[in-house]
Chains A and B, each alone.
Chain A
């Protein structure tokens, strides 16, 4: 009998995550309601072209939906004593994390696709190819980021990770050229914003909607991919290093 490959096994893990986590309160709040309200707050009292708003809406949706679940999965598993069973099955820790990452990715993808239909109604002129590639690469980067976020500290208290990851997320939100375009930032702030993967999504979406952008679209793509790989590899590495601490 031929056994299924690690990728198929990681799909089962992703499916489990989706069945369990997507209806939990904090996920709904952080992933769905929150970007909605934030966007609302941003809208009030401004008169910006629709395509500007579309970029802001799409970057926030992509960012918040794909980072809503991920950081708390492993701490939650450790807490509810399901983690040991998972890692004592014939899958590597990398496969487990790949599954968790996919859960974030698919959740982000579905919601982002739904929300992007707004662009359709507003009749925004979008370069579909750039838009799709940017969103997919960004979803990869953000969902990998959640793997990194859940890796340290090796706690079994989901609320702790939630707090830490929110702190990071908000920092990124404000340095990524969503509210103030990078071109209008002072040079030192520009350097800081280059450290955020969200910056490149925003920039690429500006390309996709024919707004002036700061980097070339290829730079955006390459850096998003770079962050995706970096976060995942680093996240897996740290998870491996602290694995034993999760049983203390």
Chain B
């Protein structure tokens, strides 16, 4: 069994009286990309800040590399790279100066920093801008630099808080490719995101968090399976007619179409046919829509609201 890099036991965080994280437990295995997926305000950033030792947990325990985070903050951080949410590089410094500062904070030697910086700048397509002040960078370039800064000390474990949020396709692609290649190099990655596609594409396992609670935790595939019950049958009749009580699934009307949410597609189709026959109306279109990860996410989040 692979070693567990992060272990979290019944973690809670209150801001004053407000519970932002309400008792979550999970673990992350070595070499895994672990996604923390949730809507705005779910508690993702709060969790990542506790995992990286910036905030003290109100209750519960966190182990990283088998060490208690509260007691071994600095020791752990030597082996960790962090891209905080909305963390900016220094805009009055150049890309290279930002990297240099980072390297120094990690106790690296000048030569080491220089070599590694240049290769990272190359990878992140920032080499030509290396001596320009970050002030002149676009949002995507800043975010790429931010990730480069996190990767500089070649950390075993990466914490990324919404690294692609608000970026154009190109920058987002570049960052995702790097996440994938870091994983291939054996790194463990903890990724906060509210983007389903990213979670699906990048993560080995996903925890869905809402209102400070983990509501599901599994592989993206398993979560999709779990969401089989959120099938939607879309139908339109001519002339338009509806009797919501007739169907076992939940009916929603959108335009001249009915969307019937159902676990049992077979039964719903039988009901539709039966309904059309009884009312002497025609079925014009009939579609069975398998839920996307996004639909499932919305459903799970709704259920646990």
Binding site for B on A (CB under 8 A): 1, 3-5, 8-9, 11-13, 15-16, 19-20, 80-82, 84-92, 244, 247-248
Please count the residue pairs between chain A and chain B whose beta carbons lie under 8 angstroms apart in the complex. Answer: 84
CB distance from B58 to the nearest CB of A (A): 11
* A19 and B55 contacting across the interface, CB-CB below 8 Å: no
Indicate which residue in B49, B84, B92, B108 contacts A85 across the interface (CB closer than 8 Å): B84
- Residues in A with CB closer than 8 Å to B100 are 12
Known: A90-B77, A247-B55. A16 touches B90 (CB 8 A): yes
CB-nearest residue of chain B to A246: B54
- Residues in B with CB closer than 8 Å to A89 are 77, 82, 102, 105-106
The answer for the CA separation of A3 and B34 in the assembled complex, in Å, is: 30
Q: Which of B105-121 contact A (CB under 8 A)?
A: 105-109
* A84 and B84 contacting across the interface, CB-CB below 8 Å: yes
* B90 and A247 contacting across the interface, CB-CB below 8 Å: no
* A20 and B82 contacting across the interface, CB-CB below 8 Å: no
A-B contact pairs, 29 of them (CB 8 A): A3-B108, A8-B104, A9-B104, A11-B104, A12-B101, A16-B101, A20-B92, A20-B93, A81-B87, A81-B88, A84-B54, A84-B84, A84-B87, A85-B82, A85-B84, A85-B87, A85-B88, A85-B89, A89-B77, A89-B102, A89-B105, A89-B106, A90-B78, A90-B105, A90-B106, A90-B107, A91-B105, A92-B73, A244-B56
* A88 and B74 contacting across the interface, CB-CB below 8 Å: no
The answer for the CA separation of A88 and B74 in the assembled complex, in Å, is: 9
**Interface residues contributed by chain B, number (CB under 8 Å):** 34
CB-nearest residue of chain A to B46: A247
CB-nearest residue of chain B to A85: B87
* B52 and A88 contacting across the interface, CB-CB below 8 Å: yes
- Residues in B with CB closer than 8 Å to A19 are 92-93, 97
- Residues in A with CB closer than 8 Å to B78 are 3, 90
Known: A84-B87, A247-B55. A12 touches B104 (CB 8 A): yes
The answer for the CA separation of A4 and B236 in the assembled complex, in Å, is: 70
* B105 and A9 contacting across the interface, CB-CB below 8 Å: yes
The answer for the CA separation of A196 and B15 in the assembled complex, in Å, is: 38
Given A1-B109, A12-B105, 14 further pairs, Cβ under 8 A: A12-B104, A13-B105, A16-B97, A16-B101, A80-B91, A81-B86, A82-B89, A84-B54, A84-B84, A89-B102, A90-B75, A90-B106, A91-B105, A248-B15
The answer for the CA separation of A179 and B56 in the assembled complex, in Å, is: 48
- Residues in A with CB closer than 8 Å to B74 are 90-92
Indicate which residue in B54, B91, B101, B107 contacts A88 across the interface (CB closer than 8 Å): B54
* B56 and A88 contacting across the interface, CB-CB below 8 Å: no
Interface 0/1 of B31-61, CB less than 8 Å to A: 0000000000000000001001111100000
CB distance from B200 to the nearest CB of A (A): 28
- Residues in B with CB closer than 8 Å to A13 are 101, 105
Known: A9-B104, A88-B77, A90-B107. A82 touches B88 (CB 8 A): yes
Interface centre among B92, B106, B107 (most CB of A within 10 A): B107
* A4 and B91 contacting across the interface, CB-CB below 8 Å: no
CB distance from A168 to the nearest CB of B (A): 27
Known: A88-B82, A90-B77. A80 touches B88 (CB 8 A): yes
The answer for the CA separation of A12 and B15 in the assembled complex, in Å, is: 33
The answer for the CA separation of A20 and B91 in the assembled complex, in Å, is: 9
The answer for the CA separation of A122 and B37 in the assembled complex, in Å, is: 70
- Residues in A with CB closer than 8 Å to B104 are 4, 8-9, 11-12
CB distance from A187 to the nearest CB of B (A): 47
- Residues in A with CB closer than 8 Å to B93 are 16, 19-20
CB distance from B160 to the nearest CB of A (A): 12
- Residues in B with CB closer than 8 Å to A1 are 109
CB-nearest residue of chain B to A90: B77
Interface centre among A12, A20, A86, A90 (most CB of B within 10 A): A90
Known: A16-B101, A90-B77. A9 touches B90 (CB 8 A): no
CB-nearest residue of chain B to A243: B54
Interface centre among B75, B78, B104 (most CB of A within 10 A): B104
- Residues in A with CB closer than 8 Å to B84 are 81, 84-85, 88
Indicate which residue in B15, B86, B92, B107 contacts A3 across the interface (CB closer than 8 Å): B107
- Residues in B with CB closer than 8 Å to A244 are 55-56
Known: A80-B91, A90-B74, A90-B78. A247 touches B105 (CB 8 A): no
- Residues in B with CB closer than 8 Å to A3 are 78, 106-108
- Residues in A with CB closer than 8 Å to B86 are 81
The answer for the CA separation of A91 and B146 in the assembled complex, in Å, is: 18
